[in-house]
Amino acid sequence: MIFRKRLAAGLCALSATLAAGLFPAAAIADETQAESPKVELVLDVSGSMRATDIDGQSRMSAAKQAFNEVLDAVPDDVRLGIRTLGANYPGKSKTEGCKDTEQLYPVGQLDRTEAKTAVATLSPTGWTPIGPALQAAGKDLAGGDATRRIVLITDGEDTCAPLDPCAVARELAASGTSLVIDTLGLASSDKMREQLTCIAEATGGTYTSVSHKDQLADRTKQLIDRAADAPAVTPTAVDGSASCSTAPLIGAGVYSDREKFAEHRWYRLNVADGQELRASVSVGADRAVNNDYGVLLRAVTGDRELVRGSDADSGRTDVISAGLRYGFAEQDDADTPASHIVCLEVSNSFSAPASVKTTPGLPVELTVGLVSAPDDASDVASFGLGRGWILLAVLTVTGLLAGLLWGWLSRIRVAVWRTN
Amino acid sequence: MRTTSRLTAAVLAAGAAVLSCAGPALADDTASPSPSPSGTAAAPTEAGTNFRTATAIQQGQAATATASTGDYLYWMVPAAAGQNVTVKATVTLPESSSRHGSATWRLDVYDGLRRRQACAAGHPSRTAAVEATTVELRCRLRTVRPWSEAWANDPLPGAYYVRLTVTDLPDQDLGLPASAEILATAADAGGSKAADGELAAPLTPVEQAGATLDPSTETTATPSASASEAPDSLAAPDGGWSPGWWSDRWIWTVAGGVLGALAGVAGYNFARPSRRRQQQA
């Protein structure tokens, strides 16, 4: 009987999940008429691009050929722009040289022939103002909710100190919705690699060291495709506060925030009886950090800790994450489900050498899910069933004893009946 | 004598009926949750670069990706309760001539709540020498349970994130081209791990943009706003998220019942008043 009830309940649950699964999908499809992604290719046209060390060609001509291939392959729904750095000023003045960045092709619907013609005119000329070029590229891509990606192709480190391109990249990433900078290095100098990996790390991008023309084209195409395939959901920026009482009220969904070293950030949400809260948090290591680090996520109601999730690790990493879940049981007597204020506290134990800037904070991604009906397990074993030889022995011996007892009882009964 | 034999026959018949009914169900069920053949859809050739962009793959599907050394590659694979999931990654390293030293590659597995999951067996981390051409990593998770207490870190049905990256290498080797193949397979953990309970919903990623609410108006939570459905890209494994009602515990328990009944009959037969003596009387 119980089993039949369970089976029926299972079928009901199945049809419910099927129905629920169908409708939100349709709703999401309606809602997210996502803006087409924006990509800007930033190409170094500094004097050093004349060096002939890529498949026997100059870096510049290799880049031009790769660009032709890439421009042919750009997906239609990507808005692409091209920016150059060091293309115009051949002189010795640093102030002039460091202003030398120009938008070669504006971000928008791509006219392949026009873009190719523009690229063909380039010839290696000036300085390597990476920082200013990134700043300008950030402006080119500004506006709208589209996912944004910068692909930086260069053969040398920035020559425009004190503006640190790595800091520029981190500020760009912190200033708006998802911006990723991928870097491709055409030479093998330690300084350049350090700078490019730092830029990539600061924005959650990648660094590639290029030594062949095909590799340059393939990787650039791959990065543009990644922009095109970006997830439809962009996190909502939220500003967590230092205590539970002043924390911003959030619901289910994906959020982004920034948290400094050893800072604690609080977020508040309402969870009703019969709902389960699921939260996970990822704290990104977007700069050079010390070897050991960790993250702690706590769910607190009033002054009582409900549950916590934590993780710690050491070594090279992009993020460290933790998650938790907590369900409030359904109250049978209440007509309307009571609501609980739950505060989420996110803290991290990252640290960094003194030379590393601490602002803006580390990127935090918080996802919150609310599912209805808290789960429950009535028994540890499946349907409370048993298993194993001991179970068989126990049942057999019990049966045997019961049989013997019943036999003896009837024997006594017969004996009593006979004597009467 | 006649009554006992009739009783025995009835008990045996009942037992046989239960067993024969369970038999086909067993055959059905064990066939489906085992690793599905590399699916109808083409295997992905790209990997994601963070949790949100993780590429969804199916069990038994060999996905590939090309990357630069130092990239963080993410995939997402579904796992159901009662499965033992094994993730295997094969990294094809950059040409030895371009490398400057040994590199340590690591495979990390996280559950749908991004909680790190332990590898019960396998080599999730390995150091490749300069002359090596490939490195193979493997991680077998603990058995996925259908339910656990909120405070436990047990593996639960839902998505599992797989992260592959290099953790230690000479700086000069960053950015060199590498490629990876990833394969997640699942085996049925069997009746000894068949547990009860069920989650309200599998632990799947939230695919919904957040919204900051106005505290003055939103005083109560709205249960209708709850949403945490599996995203389209992440389909449940063939047998569904939960293993269903069947487990070999049914055979054990029914067999125990049958043995108990038989033993009962035998015991009664042994101890009951002898009929002959009754007749003599």
Q: Does A22 touch chain B (CB under 8 A)?
A: no
CATH topology of domain B34-204+230-241: Jelly Rolls (2.60.120)
Q: Which residues of A touch B200 (CB under 8 A)?
A: 276, 327, 371-375
Answer yes or no: do A214 and A258 share one domain: no
Task: Kindly report which listed range (A7-11, A161-165, A392-396, B229-233) carries the lowest average pLDDT score.
Answer: A7-11
* pLDDT digit string, tens, across residues B228-238: 455 666 788 87
Which ipTM was obtained for this model?
0.87
Contact A367 B271 (CB under 8 A): no
**Beta bridge pairs of residue B138:** B88
- A53 and A3 housed in the same domain: no
Is residue A416 included in any domain, yes or no?
no
Decide if A108 touches B, using CB distance below 8 A: no
Res A175: pLDDT: 84
Q: Name beta bridge partners: A87.
A: none
Residues A80 and A224 reside in one and the same domain: yes
Residues of the domain holding A119 = 38-228
Question: Tell me, what's the pLDDT at A32?
Answer: 45
Tell me, yes or no, whether A318 lies in a domain.
yes
Mean pLDDT (chain B) is 81
Q: Is the peptide bond before B44 cis (omega within 30 degrees of 0)?
A: no
**Of A122-126, A229-233, B68-72, highest mean pLDDT:** B68-72
Domain boundary among A228, A260, A281: A228
**Chain segment A186-228, per-residue pLDDT in tens:** 988 889 999 999 999 999 999 999 989 999 999 999 999 998 8
Give a yes or no: residue A396 inside a domain. Answer: no
- Pair (A309, A265) in one structural domain: yes
Q: Residue A17 pLDDT > 70, yes or no?
A: no
For residues A152, A157, A158, A163, the Cα torsion angle rounded to the nearest 10 degrees is: 100
Q: Are strands A236-237 and A253-259 parallel, antiparallel or unpaired?
A: parallel
Give me the residue from A218, A282, A371 closest to B201, CB to CB.
A371
Sketch the domain layout of chain B as residue ranges: 2-28+250-280, 34-204+230-241
Give the pLDDT band of residue A27 (cuts 50, 70, 90): very low
Closest chain B residue to the Cα of A295, Cα to Cα: B115
> Which of the given ranges, A142-146, A166-170, B35-39, has the highest pLDDT on average?
A166-170
In the structure, what pLDDT confidence band is assigned to residue A239 with cuts at 50, 70 and 90? very high
* Residues A190, A95 share a domain: yes
Report whether pLDDT(A11) > 80.
no
- Residue A398, in any domain of the structure: no
Domain membership flag for residue A411: no
Residue of chain A whose alpha carbon sits nearest to that of B246: A382
Say whether both A49 and A8 belong to one domain. Answer: no
Give the model confidence (pLDDT) of B172-229 as tens digits: 999 999 999 999 999 998 888 888 888 888 998 888 888 888 777 655 545 444 444 5
Q: Are residues A50 and A120 in the same domain?
A: yes
Please state the pTM of the whole predicted model. 0.85
- Does residue A397 belong to the interface with chain B, where contact is any CB pair within 8 Å? yes
Query: According to the model, what pLDDT value does residue A156 have?
Result: 85
Chain B residues whose beta carbon lies within 8 Å of the beta carbon of residue A372: 200, 223, 226
Q: Where among A228, A246, A261 does a domain terminate?
A: A228
Q: What is the mean pLDDT of residues A403-411?
A: 94
Inter-axis angle of helices A59-73 and A112-120, to 10 degrees?
A: 180
A264 lies in the same domain as A203: no
Q: Confirm if A163 and A207 have CB atoms less than 8 A apart.
A: no
Does residue A185 share a domain with residue A260?
no
Stretch B90-97: mean pLDDT, rounded?
A: 94
Closest CA to B151 of A36, A17, A307, A14: A307
Q: What's the structural domain count of chain A?
A: 3
CATH number for the domain spanning A68: value is: 3.40.50.410
Strand order in the sheet with A179-185: A101-108, A79-85, A38-44, A148-154, A179-185, A207-209
Kindly state whether residues A224 and A83 are assigned to the same domain: yes
Phi, psi angle pair for A326, to nearest 5°: -155, 130
B108-132 residue pLDDT tens: 999 999 999 999 999 999 999 999 9
Residues A57 and A188 in one domain: yes
